[in-house]
């Protein structure tokens, strides 16, 4: 497996991206940020069996900081719905690589839009304010309509414009 080295490298760190492997998905899952734990609960993904769905995604990747998994992301292409649904989960250590992660996202989201020729969407728990803010910076726009989720919470659909 060849790792892609990210152009922006923070001092004394090596940031790389590879295809997501089960062991790395399990590591990130078991060490998720509090916001991501809650996000998964709201989406109904309460246990590690959800990893199977992530690994089955059309494309899925792992971000490493000095060879330690800090985040995983990917997309699921739905030709029947003419859409791509993207996802992102991270550990607390992603904060040390945030500029690199941001640069990656600026590449991958538009790439998926061009590659599949469809709109890119993200479903976000309304309480995940940092993710909503970040997605807006990346060019996503929130739909006005809210959708019921588990735990009496609401989800927001965000679309890449």
CATH of residue 69 = 3.40.630.30
64 in a domain, yes or no?
yes
What pLDDT, on the 0 to 100 scale, is given for residue 15? 87
Average model confidence (pLDDT) for the chain? 88
Rounded Cα gap, residues 98 and 37, in angstroms: 19
**Cα torsion through 115, 98, 128, 137, rounded to 10:** -60
6 in a domain, yes or no?
no
Rounded Cα gap, residues 121 and 145, in angstroms: 14
pLDDT band at 49 (very low <50, low <70, confident <90, very high): confident
DSSP 8-state symbol, 129: H
State pLDDT tens for residues 52-87. Answer: 888 988 999 999 999 999 999 999 999 888 899 999
Domain with 136, as residue range(s), is 14-160
1 in a domain, yes or no?
no
35 in a domain, yes or no?
yes
24 in a domain, yes or no?
yes
148 in a domain, yes or no?
yes
State pLDDT tens for residues 84-103. Answer: 999 999 999 998 888 888 88
Domain count, the chain: 1
Please, are residues 90 and 71 in contact by the beta-carbon 8 Å criterion?
yes
What pLDDT, on the 0 to 100 scale, is given for residue 9? 61
Identify the bridge partners of residue 79 per DSSP, sorted by sequence position.
none
């Amino acid at each position: 497996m060849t790792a892609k080295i990210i152009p922006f490298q923070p001092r004394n760190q090596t940031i790389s991206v590879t295809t997501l492997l089960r062991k790395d998905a399990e590591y990130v899952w078991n060490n998720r940020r509090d916001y991501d734990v809650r996000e998964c609960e709201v989406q109904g993904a309460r246990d590690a069996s959800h990893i199977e769905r992530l690994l089955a995604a059309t494309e899925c990747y792992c971000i490493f900081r000095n060879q330690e998994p800090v985040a995983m992301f990917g997309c699921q292409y739905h030709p029947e719905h003419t859409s791509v649904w993207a996802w992102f989960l991270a550990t607390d250590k992603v904060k040390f690589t945030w500029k690199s992660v941001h640069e990656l996202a600026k590449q991958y989201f538009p790439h998926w839009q061009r590659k599949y020729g469809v709109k890119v969407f993200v479903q976000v728990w309304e309480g995940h304010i940092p993710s909503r803010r970040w997605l807006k910076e990346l060019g996503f726009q929130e739909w006005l309509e809210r959708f019921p989720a588990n735990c009496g919470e609401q989800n927001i659909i965000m679309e890449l414009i």
